[in-house]
Chains A and B, each alone.
Chain A
């Protein structure tokens, strides 16, 4: 019986059917639901790893141990895992190993839109790309066979539109697959130069074998139509091609590295005008050009952003998108915001008021960069806030450290904030680090991590003590504050910034979306409100401005009763309902 599944669920199902028994990931949009769903299958060990590098290393060990293993991450996570990945290509596998790279064209929820098909060529991997949920399941199953057959990690490359689109899937039977035997084999698994040189020769042999395989692979197919136009495409763009140009001939590629040269040459020779339709980088197009095949791609289609059916209609067919209905009205933007009651809000309010330089990091709290809080100077990648603050100090002198704060979430700190903190201590930095500890990985949908003390399946486990950890790496000044108490925050910042040497301030309070503790119901006394707008500057949807009255008011449906506006109001106009 067919059922609707998002691409990520279909990948999880495919892995389960293929007999996966180990899965590891660090959460990251759009990949999060893959291992989350795998963890719910019987007989599979799944984990949230502290970061993607660890996830892939766990995957390496599990594969060696004979298990079919899946490791999933968002595109930028592969950068973190790139170190083990490149050499994993040399060692090869024992149990099949599939790495899912979930790319984000259009940057729905990412800091860049890198095209990870590039890793295939660079790390010499088989890269396959499905274009709907059924293929996501089928390709994932197939990937494990291919991984074992060619002794290679296989990259399953998907994009946001695949991960988070639902389509119909016919699930299959679960394979009954015994654990493969583990055999010690240092020449294959110990990458000393002498062994690695020999393995590199094996890698090249494998790539040659894969080049043969892709010519005949059932993952590639030609759909003949009008031969005046031929389109080579893969993944989600294939769907857009079929939507707007169902009549043309299409070569749909499931294997995007290596590319099937003979198949492509044959297709190219049988069509009049050849296009490549691929989002982001001209990975396929450049290979065709290197082979001397005349083709049109990025000269008419963009290298940036996500494609859409109307984009292809406009740029390939010259059909302007239908105008639809128009309203003569300017529509105010609706940017994403920190939630009402979010404990991060108080931190950014204070940082802004103190006019501090703030090196930021990746998470919900990156929204602290937006107006009206606007209290962030940098966001680069996971964990970068602490190293960036140290670098700023080394460039501008220790005095600058008195005006600089590194801000990082608890999950991000565990992911990759610990080593730069060690660097700060080791190299005599004076950075003040604020760990925004809301007890979860909030942005991706509240996943657990080592400092929550719960596993992916919500079992109790040893909890990483962030305070003890900071002390253990040599930070002498470590303190906890409540991020919703402005006075407490200001005092802590003043003291730590003026003090020489590194310090860590743990701003601890649970994410407003998971905090179930009772909160007061608040309102604004209209007689006391002087219309100073200080509460409006908190950027909270729970409080709004009434232009006609020049007063602020609380929206009881949205207000979470966090009390931050009580703290900032100079006229005691915010009151608790029912309190005296």
Chain B
């Protein structure tokens, strides 16, 4: 794939708002003049299953899906899903993990254990790992449901998007009555990254 293409894999559990996150990033990429493709999953997989959406942008995009080992960024809305999709991350890529834990059925029923200290194990393998409690941060902004937008703020900044492009995308895509909360969440994610982190990510 072309070196000037950026691939973002967004993974989580059905119902966590991965679709909206992918649409905001995609819209911001369009505003920057990129060619953009987004791949979404609708239907049965949305019922609490493992879900993935994919955003690709650059001068010219063909495939709507990202190759294994070719994602520049993985935005994981849940720890277990971060681990599941790890093989899609490019060597040197950025892994952003929301430290939420949502037990899948085999864990809830006590059949198998939820792997311990996943974010630490991932960070040991992936040098560029950022773990954060995006759900908690979003709750502080008014609703835990805006965790997706917190992550968009962080990843958007790491990828060099201007804040106003992200804000405009959020305004265009979320329902009117929750715009303010989501703008707050976006900024919280944006401000989560300090300059050291940014230089690590862009290194």
Distance in Å from the Cβ of B22 to the closest Cβ of chain A?
9
Residues facing B in A402-460 (CB within 8 A) are 443-445
Given contacts A335-B49, A337-B48, contact A327 B125 (CB under 8 A): yes
Please determine whether A108 and B44 come into contact, CB atoms closer than 8 angstroms: yes
Could you give, for residues 480-498 of chain A, a 1 whenever the CB lies within 8 Å of some chain B CB and a 0 otherwise? 0000000000000000000
Distance in Å from the Cβ of B105 to the closest Cβ of chain A?
6
Given contacts A29-B43, A329-B83, A335-B104, contact A322 B109 (CB under 8 A): no
Please determine whether A327 and B121 come into contact, CB atoms closer than 8 angstroms: yes
Please determine whether A443 and B43 come into contact, CB atoms closer than 8 angstroms: yes
Residues facing B in A47-63 (CB within 8 A) are none
Distance in Å from the Cβ of B169 to the closest Cβ of chain A?
10
Contact of B41 among A164, A308, A330 (CB under 8 A): A164
Taking CB atoms, residues of chain A closer than 8 Å to B45 are 108-109, 336
Taking CB atoms, residues of chain A closer than 8 Å to B87 are 323-326
Contact of A364 among B47, B107, B122 (CB under 8 A): B47
Taking CB atoms, residues of chain B closer than 8 Å to A400 are none
Given contacts A167-B64, A323-B69, A544-B108, contact A337 B81 (CB under 8 A): no
Given contacts A4-B30, A327-B122, contact A339 B48 (CB under 8 A): yes
- How far apart sit A165 and B122, CA to CA, in the bound complex (Å)? 30
A242 at the interface (CB under 8 A from B): yes
Please determine whether B106 and A332 come into contact, CB atoms closer than 8 angstroms: yes
A290 at the interface (CB under 8 A from B): no
- How far apart sit A239 and B67, CA to CA, in the bound complex (Å)? 13
Distance in Å from the Cβ of A401 to the closest Cβ of chain B?
31
Please determine whether B113 and A547 come into contact, CB atoms closer than 8 angstroms: yes
Could you give, for residues 29-56 of chain B, a 1 whenever the CB lies within 8 Å of some chain A CB and a 0 otherwise? 0100001111111111111111000000
- How far apart sit A336 and B108, CA to CA, in the bound complex (Å)? 14
Main secondary structure of the interface of A (DSSP, over half): loop
Q: Could you count the A-B residue pairs with CB atoms below 8 Å apart for me: how many are there?
A: 189
Contact of A322 among B62, B67, B104, B125 (CB under 8 A): B67
> Whose C-beta in chain A lies nearest to the C-beta of B111?
A332
Distance in Å from the Cβ of A380 to the closest Cβ of chain B?
17
Contact of B104 among A165, A326, A334 (CB under 8 A): A334
Please determine whether A108 and B48 come into contact, CB atoms closer than 8 angstroms: no
Given contacts A108-B41, A333-B104, A536-B110, contact A309 B48 (CB under 8 A): no
Residues facing A in B1-52 (CB within 8 A) are 1, 13-14, 23, 26-27, 30, 35-50
Taking CB atoms, residues of chain A closer than 8 Å to B192 are none
- How far apart sit A329 and B125, CA to CA, in the bound complex (Å)? 12
Q: Which of A4, A108, A367, A443 has the most CB of B within 10 A?
A: A4
Taking CB atoms, residues of chain A closer than 8 Å to B88 are 324
A83 at the interface (CB under 8 A from B): no
Contact of B68 among A29, A168, A321, A336 (CB under 8 A): A321
Distance in Å from the Cβ of A168 to the closest Cβ of chain B?
6
- How far apart sit A3 and B14, CA to CA, in the bound complex (Å)? 26
A383 at the interface (CB under 8 A from B): no
Please determine whether A539 and B62 come into contact, CB atoms closer than 8 angstroms: no
Chain A: interface residue count, which band?
A: 35 or more
Given contacts A4-B36, A323-B69, contact A541 B48 (CB under 8 A): yes
- How far apart sit A543 and B42, CA to CA, in the bound complex (Å)? 26
B191 at the interface (CB under 8 A from A): no
Contact of B65 among A33, A308, A329 (CB under 8 A): A308
Main secondary structure of the interface of B (DSSP, over half): mixed
Residues facing B in A351-385 (CB within 8 A) are 364, 367, 371-372
Give the number of chain B interface residues (Cβ < 8 Å): 61
- How far apart sit A236 and B115, CA to CA, in the bound complex (Å)? 37
Taking CB atoms, residues of chain A closer than 8 Å to B42 are 29-30, 32-33, 109, 164, 445
Taking CB atoms, residues of chain B closer than 8 Å to A308 are 63, 65, 67
B90 at the interface (CB under 8 A from A): yes
Given contacts A166-B40, A324-B91, contact A331 B113 (CB under 8 A): no
B84 at the interface (CB under 8 A from A): yes
Taking CB atoms, residues of chain A closer than 8 Å to B103 are 541, 544
Taking CB atoms, residues of chain B closer than 8 Å to A239 are 62-64
> Whose C-beta in chain A lies nearest to the C-beta of B118?
A329
Contact of B1 among A243, A321, A323, A325 (CB under 8 A): A243
Please determine whether B113 and A336 come into contact, CB atoms closer than 8 angstroms: no
Please determine whether B47 and A367 come into contact, CB atoms closer than 8 angstroms: yes
Please determine whether B109 and A372 come into contact, CB atoms closer than 8 angstroms: yes
Could you give, for residues 112-139 of chain B, a 1 whenever the CB lies within 8 Å of some chain A CB and a 0 otherwise? 1111001001100110000000000000
Residues facing B in A515-536 (CB within 8 A) are 533, 536
Distance in Å from the Cβ of A436 to the closest Cβ of chain B?
15
B86 at the interface (CB under 8 A from A): yes
B73 at the interface (CB under 8 A from A): no
Taking CB atoms, residues of chain A closer than 8 Å to B84 are 331, 334
Please determine whether A164 and B35 come into contact, CB atoms closer than 8 angstroms: no
A545 at the interface (CB under 8 A from B): yes
Could you give, for residues 158-185 of chain A, a 1 whenever the CB lies within 8 Å of some chain B CB and a 0 otherwise? 0001001111100000000000000000
- How far apart sit A168 and B57, CA to CA, in the bound complex (Å)? 11
A25 at the interface (CB under 8 A from B): no
Distance in Å from the Cβ of B102 to the closest Cβ of chain A?
8
- How far apart sit A327 and B86, CA to CA, in the bound complex (Å)? 8
Contact of A324 among B35, B86, B108, B121 (CB under 8 A): B86
Please determine whether A332 and B43 come into contact, CB atoms closer than 8 angstroms: no
Taking CB atoms, residues of chain A closer than 8 Å to B48 are 334, 336-337, 339, 541
Taking CB atoms, residues of chain A closer than 8 Å to B188 are none
B70 at the interface (CB under 8 A from A): yes
- How far apart sit A242 and B107, CA to CA, in the bound complex (Å)? 42
Contact of A331 among B40, B83, B90 (CB under 8 A): B83
Which residues of B are at the interface with A, using a C-beta cutoff of 8 A?
A: 1, 13-14, 23, 26-27, 30, 35-50, 61-65, 67-70, 80-81, 83-84, 86-91, 102-110, 112-115, 118, 121-122, 125-126, 144
14 pairs from A and B in contact (CB 8 Å cutoff): A4-B36, A108-B43, A132-B37, A166-B38, A167-B36, A243-B63, A308-B67, A309-B1, A309-B63, A313-B67, A331-B115, A332-B104, A336-B44, A339-B47
State the 3 A-B residue pairs at the shortest beta-carbon distance, nearest first: A322-B69, A109-B43, A336-B49
